[in-house]
Structures are given as structure tokens and as C-alpha cells.
């Protein structure tokens, strides 16, 4: 029988859509229908298990799934020794301590003998023990931010992204404990066949992630400023330069990082570049 790599994905929630889209862009599609919890990928030797994110680390640690996509926060909380194969750049957030906004924050000693509500008791226990703070940790599964407002706790330890949930609940972030993002994790004991499938998948993910971070840029440049313009463009290797039919002008093609292109475009215009086109890249093999 053909070897298939089993991946554990979140069934629904913050990780699901980006995980599905990443695999889709990597050419790994699967049919999700009528509440099925297992699906087979089409055109790739992979089987997908849909789970709650809390269960993903253990499922991979036990070898029921070979790999999984989960937040670093959940991974650290569960404490299983899995291999992080790749940071995936989505579901970025942080785990922070927050207190009622009217309270004066005096530093970590504020938490001494206080009651803190959280869904991440293990991470918080370790943090307080490292910092030698004695606090009562009260574990709750969700809606952590309402705990101080209803008298259940003095403070909270939870996920923060934009901070709007904290604001809505009259809380303020006072200590960041960790940053988190989605990661691809694996069980350390994969057979050579499964390892080869995983390597192929990671190769594809790298191509997708590189292309998402880069744009193809095309522009026309006056020859007298060509050297300057080439200096500004940090291309993959060196930019392609082709003469234009119009005397004294060239067409320049290169690849630039998505984050940088607004800065670079300003400088390019100052140096006489015209007809600037920024084009998305479908896949990029480095």
C-alpha cells in the first residue's frame, strides 16, 4: 500500500483557514464535507485529521498523526517533545499578563498572592516560578478576559493580538511572556518514506512562503541612472536589464521583498524610473 503522511489540522478556528490555504497553494487539496474528521488529499500522499488544536501536540507525539500545524503557545503548554520543522508566519499573537486598567502596575511583584485566570496554566506556572512569584493560577477553558470583571480573578494571562479584547474588557497588558505563531511540527520517529514526503511538502511550503513575501518589479529607467537604480533594487541575484526601443532607456526586471517596495518605489521615482509595475509571484524556487 502507498505510504501516506498523516497531518493533524485544527478542525475550525483561528488556524484552520490559513493552514488549508497554505496546503492548497502547495498543491495539496482535500475535500472537507459533512462533518468528516478524516480526509484524503488529492494528488499528494497525505491524509488529514481534523482535531481541536489542544489535541494536536499529543496526537503527533503519540504517532497517531505524523505531523501537525499548531500554535507555539499550545505546543509549549502541552510540553511534548516534538520537532518544529517550519515557522509558518500566520496566527501571530502573544501570551501576556493583563490587569484591570484602573490598577497601578508596580512590576511583577503586583502578582504576588493574586489570582490569575488562564487557559495556559503550565506556561504561566513556569514563568512565575522562574520569576519567584507566588500566585494562584485559576484554569478556565475560554472567555478568560471576563474573569476579573465578574470577580473570578484579579488578572488574566491570555492571547493578545490587536489588544481589542483587552480594551473591551477594561484590561491593560502589563507583561508579555511569549510570542507565538503557527508552526509545522513532526514526530521524531518518521520512517524514511514519510520523511521523504515531509521534505517534499516543506520544499513546496518554502516556495509558497518565498513567493508570498516577494513581488516581481518591472520598470523603465533612463540609462544615465541605471547604475543607481540597480543599486536600489535588492534582486534575487542581479536584475535583468533589456534595452528599450526608445534611445537612452532600459527596461529593468527584478524581485523585491513585499515589505520594502513602498520605500524602494519612492527612491526609484526620484531616480527617474517610469512605468513601474509590481506583479505578484505565484511560486518561487530559491
Ligand X SMILES: O=P(O)(O)OC[C@H]1O[C@H](OP(=O)(O)OP(=O)(O)O)[C@H](O)[C@@H]1O
Ligand Y SMILES: Nc1ncnc2c1ncn2[C@@H]1O[C@H](COP(=O)(O)OP(=O)(O)OP(=O)(O)O)[C@@H](O)[C@H]1O
Residue 15's binding partner among Mg ion, ligand Y, ligand X, none (Cβ under 5 to 8 angstroms by kind) is ligand Y
Sheet of 136-139, strands arranged across? 136-139, 115-118, 155-160, 93-100, 171-180
Q: Does 164 bind ligand X (CB under 6 A)?
A: yes
CA distance to 30, 42, 151, 219, per residue, from 46 (Å): 9, 8, 48, 42
- The whole-angstrom separation of Cα 19 and Cα 151 is 37
Per-residue contact track with Mg ion, 42 to 81, x per CB under 5 A? -----------xx---------------------------
Residue 145's binding partner among Mg ion, ligand X, ligand Y, none (Cβ under 5 to 8 angstroms by kind) is ligand X
Reduce the DSSP state of residue 43 to 3 states and report it: coil
Minimum distance from residue 96 beta carbon to ligand X (Å): 9
Q: Does 185 bind ligand X (CB under 6 A)?
A: no
Would you say 28 or 166 has its CB closer to ligand X? 166
Site for ligand Y in 156-215 (CB under 6 A): 159, 161, 180
DSSP 52: -
Minimum distance from residue 35 beta carbon to ligand X (Å): 20
- The whole-angstrom separation of Cα 56 and Cα 33 is 20
Minimum distance from residue 241 beta carbon to ligand X (Å): 45
CA distance to 189, 196, 198, 201, per residue, from 192 (Å): 9, 6, 10, 14
Minimum distance from residue 272 beta carbon to ligand X (Å): 43
Cell of 286: 530559491
Range 259-286 burial, b when 16+ CB lie within 10 A, else e: eebeebbeebeebbbeebeeeeeeebee
Tell me which residues touch Mg ion (CB under 5 A).
Answer: 53-54
Tell me which residues touch ligand X (CB under 6 A).
Answer: 14, 142, 145, 158-165
Tell me which residues touch ligand Y (CB under 6 A).
Answer: 10, 13-15, 52-54, 71, 73-74, 91-93, 159, 161, 180
Amino acid at each position: 500500500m502507498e505510504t501516506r503522511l498523516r497531518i493533524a489540522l485544527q478542525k475550525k478556528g483561528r488556524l484552520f483557514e490559513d493552514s488549508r490555504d497554505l496546503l492548497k497553494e502547495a498543491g495539496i487539496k482535500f475535500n472537507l464535507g459533512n462533518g468528516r474528521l478524516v480526509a484524503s488529499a488529492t494528488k499528494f500522499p497525505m491524509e488529514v485529521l481534523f482535531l481541536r488544536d489542544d489535541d494536536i501536540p499529543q496526537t503527533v507525539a503519540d504517532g497517531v498523526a505524523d505531523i501537525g500545524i499548531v500554535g507555539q503557545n499550545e505546543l509549549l503548554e502541552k510540553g511534548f517533545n516534538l520537532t518544529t520543522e517550519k515557522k509558518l508566519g500566520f496566527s501571530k499573537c502573544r501570551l501576556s499578563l493583563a490587569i484591570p486598567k484602573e490598577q497601578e502596575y508596580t512590576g511583577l511583584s503586583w502578582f504576588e498572592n493574586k489570582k490569575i485566570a488562564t487557559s495556559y496554566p503550565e506556561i504561566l506556572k513556569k514563568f512565575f516560578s522562574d520569576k519567584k512569584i507566588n500566585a494562584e493560577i485559576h484554569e478556565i477553558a475560554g472567555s478568560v478576559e471576563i474573569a476579573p470583571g465578574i470577580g473570578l480573578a484579579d488578572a488574566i494571562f491570555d492571547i493578545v493580538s490587536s489588544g481589542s479584547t483587552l480594551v473591551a474588557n477594561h484590561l491593560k497588558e502589563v507583561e508579555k511572556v511569549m510570542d507565538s505563531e503557527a508552526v509545522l511540527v513532526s514526530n521524531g520517529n518518521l520512517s524514511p518514506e514519510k520523511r521523504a514526503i515531509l521534505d517534499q511538502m516543506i520544499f513546496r511550503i518554502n516556495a509558497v512562503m518565498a513567493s508570498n513575501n516577494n513581488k516581481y518589479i518591472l520598470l523603465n529607467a533612463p540609462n544615465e541612472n541605471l547604475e543607481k537604480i540597480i543599486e536600489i533594487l535588492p534582486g534575487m541575484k542581479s536584475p535583468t536589464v533589456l534595452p528599450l526601443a526608445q534611445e537612452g532607456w532600459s527596461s529593468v526586471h527584478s524581485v523585491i521583498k513585499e515589505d520594502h517596495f513602498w520605500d524602494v518605489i519612492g527612491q526609484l521615482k526620484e531616480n527617474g524610473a517610469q512605468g513601474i509595475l509590481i506583479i505578484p509571484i505565484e511560486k518561487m524556487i530559491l
